[in-house]
Amino acid sequence: MASLEEAANKEGTLTWCIAQMSSEVGEITGGRFTARYPGHYPALRERGALANDVPLNVGELGPAFRSLGEDGYYYPTCASLQIMI
């Protein structure tokens, strides 16, 4: 595992795509990454190593969700009503 980590650090890029994952699992996974590699997100931003992308339909994002993301870096992509019976 150490050699994999060393190779990843040399590569210097990180792509994280989450699909069909609950927000709870995403938060846990992201928290563990941040705990293990503190400061990586700010360091990557400072180096310009994070892609900045604004979706074409960002203006259609509901008002309640507009402050939940970070322009060009992440946006909420879905919300659903959950009913407990």
pTM exceeding the 0.75 threshold for the entire prediction = no
Residue 77 forms part of a structural domain: no
Domain residue limits at 37: 2-65
pLDDT of residue 7 exceeding 80: no
List, in sequence order, every residue forming a beta bridge with 74; answer none if it has no partner: 70
Residue 10 forms part of a structural domain: yes
Residue 83 forms part of a structural domain: no
Residue 13 forms part of a structural domain: yes
Residue 32 forms part of a structural domain: yes
pLDDT in tens, 46-70: 887 777 888 788 888 888 877 777 7
What pLDDT score does 30 carry?
78
What pLDDT score does 1 carry?
67
Taking residues 26-50, report their average pLDDT.
79
57: exposed, middle or buried (Cβ count in 10 Å: 0-12, 13-18, 19+) = exposed
Residue 72 forms part of a structural domain: no
**Domains of the chain: total:** 1
Residues 76, 58 contacting (CB under 8 angstroms): no
What pLDDT score does 15 carry?
63
